[in-house]
C-alpha cells in the first residue's frame, strides 16, 4: 500500500517530462526555422498570391479580356460558323478560321449564358452582352501593367503547416494548384504562423527550373521573374505562332522541300501573288536561291537569324524586288501533303511560300501529288473556256480564245488578235488534292485566270476548277471543254431529278456516318423539293448553281439530314452517281456520295 503514492508521483513526473518534451519539439519546429515562416501581408506572401492568380489572357481570342477567362465549354459563332470550345486546343481552331482569308472581317459571337472565372477564381454567371461588357470594361487594356505574375509557375504540391500564436499546430495543408494557393494566402490571418516545406521548385517562362530552399530565396526568384517576360496580355492571337521556331528548322523546311510557289504576297496594301503564278522558288543550304518560270530564271540569296518569334529572314532577288526585304518569320505550317512558310513585316506586308511536300524527320521533302490524269488531258488538244464565274458570269470575255498547254509548262491563249504566252504548273490544292496554277500575265482578260485553281473534276473532255479568293473569300469557277459550245458538262439537274437515290457514303471530317442514312430513299423533284423517306418523311430543298459546280441542300433542322445543309462542291457526276465535297471554315472536309438505285 505504501508503494502506490510513489508510483503515482513517478507517473505524473514522467507525463510532465513528456509534455514538456512535445511542446519543446513544437517550439523548435517554429523557432529553429524562421526562414520558412510565411506571414500574412508580407511581400513574399503577396508575390505568391500574384503568381497564383488566375491568368485571364489565355482565351483572349474569345473574350478580349485579360482579367478573367471563360469557363469551358462555351459555344461561339466564328465568322458565322458555330463551334463548341471545350478545350484550349479549340482556340487554334478559331485562329485557323480567322486566318483562312487575309482580307475579310473576322467576327466572333459568344452564346450566352456563360460562366467567367475572375482573377481570384470567383465564378460569375453572365447572361447577356451587357453583363459581359460590364466585366470586360473593368479589365486593363492590352499589355498594361497588372497584378498577376505570369513569367513563373510553381510546381505543386506545396505543403504548409499552420500554427497559431501559441505555437500550436492547427493543420497541415497540401496545396495542389494555383487556386488552392491563392485561397490559402488570401485566408492567412495576422495571428497565424505558416511553416512552408522546402524545397520549392519553380519553372520560368523559358523553361528554366529554379529551386528555393527558404523564403528569402523564394521571394528573390518571384521578384526577379515578375517582369521578366512578355505576358502576352493582348488580343493579337497571331503573335505567338512561332514560339518554338528555330533557324535550323526553317532551313530544314525551305531546303528540304522544293518548288515553292507564292501563295500570298502583299506589299503596301497591294496583292501581288497573281503576278507570280507559275514561279517556282528553290532554297539552297549555302544561302542561295533561284526563282524560275517556264521561260525565265532569277538568282538571289537568303539568310535567317534569331530565335522564336524574333527570327528574321533576309531575301534578296535583284530582279524580283517585290520579295526583297528583311522579313519576320511568322509561322511554319506543315500539313499532310502541304507546307507553308509565312513571313511578315510589321503585320502589314506579307509573303507566304507553299510547297506540296511534308517535311520528313530526316529533313528531306516528300509527298508528291498524282497529277497524271490532269497533265495527260491538259496537254492533249485544244481547250475552250465554257464557264467563268467571278462574282458574276464573265464567260463571254473569253469567246474566241483557244488554249493549249505544252508538257514543258508553257501555255498559250490564241484569238484573232494573236497569241498570248503564259505558264502552267500543278501543285497540292487548298481544298482538293490537286491544283492547277495558271498565269498569262497582265493581258486583259487573261489576267483573270492567274490563280492557283483547285481541281474539281478532270476527264478527257472537261476540266472544272474553283478558287477561293484571298480577298473577300468569294468563290470563282472556271471550266475548260473541248468545244467552245460546251454546256459545262452533264446536266446535273436532269440527272438527279430522274429516279430514286440513296446515300452510299457520308464522311463528316473523316468520320464515317453513312449508317445514319441507311434505309432512306431520296427523290429530287423538278420543283426544287427533295423528299427523304424510310417510312418517315423528311422534306427539304435542292438546287444547282454556278453551271453545275455547286449543289445546294437544305433540310432545315430535321435530323440526321440537317448535316447535309450546305452548298456542296460537285466533284464528279454521272448518270448513276453524284460525288460532293465541302470544306468547312475550320478546315474539316466532308464528302457525300449519292447513288441511283
Q: pLDDT (tens digit, 9 = 90+) per residue, 433-457?
A: 888 989 888 889 999 998 889 999 8
Record the cell numbers describing residue 457, joined without a space: 473534276
H-helix or E-strand containing 533?
A: strand 529-533
Residue 571 predicted with pLDDT over 80? yes
Q: pLDDT (tens digit, 9 = 90+) per residue, 19-78?
A: 333 333 343 444 435 557 888 889 999 999 999 999 888 888 899 888 899 999 999 998
Helix axes 215-225, 43-52, angle to 10 degrees: 50
Record the cell numbers describing residue 396, joined without a space: 463571254
Record the cell numbers describing residue 526, joined without a space: 423538278
Cis previous bond, 113, omega within 30: yes
Record the cell numbers describing residue 532, joined without a space: 427523304
> Is 582 in contact with 590 (CB distance < 8 Å)?
yes
* Predicted local distance difference test score (pLDDT) of residue 26: 40
* Predicted local distance difference test score (pLDDT) of residue 247: 92
Q: What is the arithmetic mean of pLDDT over 532-558?
A: 91
Q: Which pLDDT band, with edges at 50, 70 and 90, does 190 fall under? A: confident
Q: State the CB neighbour count (10 A cutoff) for residue 3.
A: 7
Residue 358 predicted with pLDDT over 90? no
Record the cell numbers describing residue 577, joined without a space: 452517281
How is 111-139 classified by DSSP, letter by letter?
-S-EEEEETT--EEEE-SHHHHHHHHTTS
Question: Which of 281, 285, 330 minimizes the C-alpha distance to 303?
Answer: 285
* Predicted local distance difference test score (pLDDT) of residue 34: 57
Q: Which pLDDT band, with edges at 50, 70 and 90, does 101 fall under? A: low
> Is 591 in contact with 510 (CB distance < 8 Å)?
no
* Predicted local distance difference test score (pLDDT) of residue 7: 40
> Is 540 in contact with 554 (CB distance < 8 Å)?
yes
> Is 314 in contact with 329 (CB distance < 8 Å)?
no
Q: Which pLDDT band, with edges at 50, 70 and 90, does 530 fall under? A: very high
Residue 86 predicted with pLDDT over 80? yes
> Is 445 in contact with 347 (CB distance < 8 Å)?
no
Task: Select the highest-mean-pLDDT range: 198-212, 314-328, 459-473.
Answer: 314-328
Q: What is the arithmetic mean of pLDDT over 219-245?
A: 73
Torsion sign over Cα 415, 470, 374, 589? negative
More confident residue, 393 or 320: 320
Q: What is the arithmetic mean of pLDDT over 106-115?
A: 92
Q: Which pLDDT band, with edges at 50, 70 and 90, does 238 fall under? A: low
Record the cell numbers describing residue 536, joined without a space: 418517315
More confident residue, 182 or 166: 182
| Eight-state DSSP code of residue 555 | -
How is 399-458 classified by DSSP, letter by letter?
TT-EEEE-TTSEEEEEETTEEEEEEEEEEE-SSSSEEEEEE-TT-TTGGGG-EEEEEEEE
Q: State the CB neighbour count (10 A cutoff) for residue 406.
A: 13
Residue 487 predicted with pLDDT over 80? no
* Predicted local distance difference test score (pLDDT) of residue 550: 86
> Is 182 in contact with 121 (CB distance < 8 Å)?
yes
Task: Select the highest-mean-pLDDT range: 289-298, 351-360, 528-537.
Answer: 528-537
Instruction: Tell me the C-alpha to C-alpha distance, in Å, between residue 237 and each of 56, 68, 240, 418, 584.
Output: 14, 17, 7, 50, 21
* Mean pLDDT of the chain, nearest integer: 84
Contacts of 554 (CB under 8 A, 6+ apart): 540, 541, 542, 565
| Range in 2-16, 180-194, 350-364 with the lowest mean pLDDT | 2-16
Residue 231 predicted with pLDDT over 90? no
Residue 123 predicted with pLDDT over 80? yes
Distance separating alpha carbons of residues 277 and 279, to the nearest angstrom: 6
More confident residue, 128 or 433: 128
Residue 594 predicted with pLDDT over 60? yes
- What is the model's pTM? 0.49
> Is 241 in contact with 332 (CB distance < 8 Å)?
no
Q: Which pLDDT band, with edges at 50, 70 and 90, does 13 fall under? A: very low
Q: What is the arithmetic mean of pLDDT over 489-495?
A: 81
Amino acid at each position: 500500500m505504501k508503494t502506490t503514492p510513489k508510483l503515482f508521483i513517478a507517473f505524473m513526473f514522467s507525463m510532465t517530462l513528456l509534455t514538456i518534451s512535445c511542446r519543446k519539439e513544437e517550439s523548435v519546429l517554429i523557432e529553429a526555422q524562421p526562414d520558412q515562416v510565411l506571414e500574412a501581408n508580407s511581400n513574399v506572401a503577396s508575390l505568391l498570391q500574384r503568381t497564383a492568380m488566375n491568368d485571364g489572357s489565355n482565351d483572349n481570342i474569345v473574350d478580349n479580356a485579360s482579367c478573367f477567362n471563360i469557363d469551358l465549354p462555351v459555344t461561339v459563332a466564328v465568322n458565322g460558323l458555330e463551334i463548341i470550345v471545350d478545350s484550349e486546343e479549340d482556340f487554334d481552331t478559331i485562329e485557323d478560321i480567322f486566318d483562312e482569308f487575309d482580307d475579310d472581317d473576322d467576327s466572333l459571337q459568344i452564346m450566352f449564358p456563360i460562366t467567367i472565372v475572375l482573377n481570384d477564381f470567383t465564378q460569375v454567371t453572365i447572361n447577356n452582352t451587357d453583363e459581359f461588357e460590364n466585366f470586360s470594361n473593368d479589365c486593363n487594356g492590352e499589355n498594361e501593367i497588372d497584378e498577376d505574375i505570369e513569367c513563373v509557375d510553381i510546381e505543386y504540391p506545396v505543403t504548409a503547416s499552420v500554427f497559431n500564436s501559441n505555437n500550436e499546430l492547427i493543420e497541415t495543408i497540401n496545396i495542389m494548384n494555383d487556386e488552392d494557393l491563392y485561397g490559402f494566402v488570401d485566408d492567412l490571418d495576422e495571428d497565424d504562423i505558416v511553416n512552408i516545406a522546402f524545397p520549392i521548385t519553380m519553372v520560368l517562362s523559358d523553361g528554366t527550373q529554379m529551386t528555393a530552399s527558404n523564403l528569402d530565396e523564394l521571394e528573390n526568384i518571384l521578384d526577379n521573374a515578375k517582369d521578366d517576360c512578355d505576358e502576352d496580355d493582348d488580343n493579337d492571337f497571331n503573335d505567338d505562332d512561332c514560339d518554338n521556331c528555330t533557324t535550323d528548322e526553317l532551313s530544314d523546311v525551305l531546303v528540304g522541300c522544293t518548288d515553292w510557289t507564292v501563295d500570298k504576297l502583299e506589299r503596301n496594301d497591294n496583292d501581288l501573288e497573281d503576278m507570280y503564278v507559275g514561279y517556282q522558288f528553290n532554297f539552297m543550304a549555302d544561302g542561295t536561291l533561284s526563282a524560275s518560270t517556264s521561260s525565265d530564271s532569277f538568282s538571289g540569296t537568303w539568310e535567317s537569324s534569331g530565335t522564336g518569334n524574333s527570327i528574321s529572314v533576309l531575301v534578296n532577288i535583284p530582279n524580283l524586288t517585290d520579295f526583297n526585304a528583311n522579313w519576320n518569320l511568322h509561322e511554319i505550317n506543315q500539313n499532310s501533303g502541304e507546307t507553308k512558310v509565312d513571313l511578315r513585316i510589321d503585320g502589314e506586308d506579307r509573303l507566304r511560300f507553299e510547297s506540296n511536300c511534308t517535311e520528313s524527320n530526316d529533313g528531306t521533302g516528300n509527298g508528291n501529288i498524282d497529277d497524271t490524269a490532269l497533265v495527260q488531258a491538259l496537254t492533249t488538244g485544244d481547250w475552250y473556256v465554257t464557264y467563268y464565274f467571278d462574282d458574276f458570269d464573265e464567260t463571254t470575255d473569253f469567246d474566241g480564245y483557244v488554249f493549249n498547254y505544252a508538257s514543258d509548262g508553257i501555255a498559250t491563249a490564241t484569238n484573232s488578235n494573236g497569241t498570248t504566252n503564259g505558264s502552267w504548273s500543278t501543285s497540292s490544292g487548298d481544298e482538293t488534292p490537286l491544283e492547277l496554277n495558271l498565269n498569262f500575265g497582265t493581258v486583259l482578260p487573261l489576267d483573270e485566270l492567274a490563280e492557283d485553281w483547285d481541281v474539281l473534276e478532270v476527264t478527257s473532255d472537261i476540266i472544272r476548277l474553283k478558287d477561293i479568293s484571298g480577298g473577300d473569300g468569294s468563290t470563282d469557277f472556271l471550266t475548260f471543254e473541248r468545244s467552245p459550245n460546251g454546256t459545262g458538262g452533264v446536266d446535273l439537274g436532269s440527272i438527279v431529278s430522274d429516279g430514286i437515290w440513296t446515300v452510299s457514303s457520308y464522311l463528316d471530317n473523316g468520320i464515317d456516318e453513312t449508317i445514319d442514312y441507311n434505309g432512306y430513299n431520296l427523290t429530287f423533284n423538278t420543283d426544287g423539293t427533295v423528299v427523304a423517306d424510310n417510312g418517315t418523311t423528311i422534306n427539304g430543298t435542292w438546287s444547282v448553281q454556278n453551271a453545275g459546280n455547286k449543289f445546294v441542300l437544305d433540310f432545315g433542322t430535321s435530323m440526321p439530314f440537317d448535316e447535309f445543309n450546305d452548298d456542296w462542291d460537285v466533284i464528279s457526276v454521272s448518270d448513276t452517281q453524284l460525288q460532293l465535297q465541302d470544306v468547312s471554315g475550320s478546315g474539316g472536309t466532308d464528302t457525300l456520295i449519292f447513288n441511283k438505285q
